[in-house]
Amino acid sequence: MSTDLKVIEGAYLRDILDQPQALENTLANLRRSKELESLATRLGKGKFQRVVLTGMGSSFHALHPLALQLINHRYTAIMVETSELVHHKNRLFDPRTLIVAVSQSGQSAEMVRLATVNRKRSAVIAVTNTPDSVLAKHATAALLTQAGSEFSVSCKTYVATLMALKWLGDALCERDAKFTRRELTDAAPAVASYLAGWKSHLESLAAELKNIRYLFFVGRGASLAAVGTGALIVKEADLFPAEGMSSAAFRHGPFEMLSQEGFVAVFSGDAKTRDLNRRLFADIQEHGGRAGLVGQNGTIECFRLPDHGESVRTILEILPVQMVTLALAALTGREPGKFKLATKVTATE
């Protein structure tokens, strides 16, 4: 890696380092409004047949932990990209559907379309960073993140969204808000502790990523949030080929691509499937692939995450990927997160 880190010390890095403050601000302002409590009560009484979870990009991927929580609470939860929902699955818009719509801007083309297509038929819970957005104004209830403005690639808006969605999940499952707040209190300090060593993290990644041509991020369960978002932000921040998928899906084809030109980041995840993920990591190495295990027992310094429980783990899991985006930028001498063609808010379908 180049010893000159000036190429990465721009607005994107500042957003990454601002994540602890974004989490603190978000947690301090999260409340259970009367509207939200009313929707949670109606859901608990069976007034809604399904909960449709929708968003685009990282906002969509962030919904994986909430989907699992609702399903484990015996609710019917369906994840649908907003573009598909509004055009091909719009029969889901009816009074028996509760929609959770996530968008940091609340102004993307798909969210504007959702408001137009729905016409208040379904109750909508918005999770957004923009209080005066189309989405927030259309919603029956809204949870607002407090991430502040963001340069380009989603980082602090993403972790703040994960926090808000955990808060929302506990509200919908009628869990005591005091317990939720207590669990999430560890998030900002844990993120700050990890980011304090960001330069050291980049050094530990330099040898791991040297001469690679493509990346895979794989995991299971709630880790699918980091897997999907991880591949997205590597492409956005570095213009570098990356793909995110479940660990099981990786064995069904992409395993054949193993070589010294690729790198696979395997997220160990929660206890239920941790052994399966570790076995995949071992098999990748045995067959000559380059890989790293992300989690409490991460195989390199940058991939080691402290154990603060599942609620915080889903937030921490994106941090090693953010370090990957910075390391790739330093290796190539390119400013990370500087868009050429994309815009922060996607206004065209």
Under 8 Å between Cβ of 53 and 78: yes
Distance set, CA 46 to CA 41, 43, 99, 140, 171 (Å): 9, 5, 15, 18, 15
Domain ranges of the chain: 15-185, 197-332
Residue 86's pLDDT is: 98
Residue 312's pLDDT is: 97
Under 8 Å between Cβ of 53 and 100: yes
Residue 40's pLDDT is: 98
User: Domain 197-332 in CATH: superfamily?
Assistant: Glucose-6-phosphate isomerase like protein; domain 1 (3.40.50.10490)
Q: Do 15-185 and 197-332 share a fold?
A: yes
Domain 15-185, architecture per CATH:
3-Layer(aba) Sandwich (3.40)
pLDDT mean by block of 10 residues, the chain; 349 residues: 74 97 98 98 98 98 98 98 98 98 97 96 98 97 98 97 98 96 97 97 90 97 98 97 98 96 97 97 97 96 94 97 96 88 83
- The predicted model scores a pTM of 0.97
Look at residues 173, 132, 181 and name the one whose alpha carbon lies nearest to residue 28. 181
Helix (H, G, I), strand (E, B) or coil at 258: coil
Q: How far is it, in rounded angstroms, from Cα 9 to Cα 168? A: 35
Q: What are phi and psi for residue 288, nearest 5 degrees? A: 85, 10
Q: Is 131 left (phi over 0), alpha (psi -120 to 50) or beta?
A: alpha
Residue 346's pLDDT is: 87
Amino acid symbol at 83:
S
- Report the first-to-last Cα separation within the chain, whole angstroms: 39
Under 8 Å between Cβ of 105 and 127: no
Residue 4's pLDDT is: 59
Torsion of CA 229, 146, 173, 108, to 10 degrees: -50
Q: Which pLDDT tens digit goes with each residue over 96-106?
A: 999 999 999 99
Under 8 Å between Cβ of 168 and 145: no
Burial 104-131 (b: 16+ CB within 10 A, else e): bbbbbbbbbbbbeebeeebbbbbbbbbe
Amino acid symbol at 282:
A
Under 8 Å between Cβ of 63 and 90: no
Residue in the structure block whose two tokens are 């991927």: 61
CB atoms within 10 A of CB 186: 16
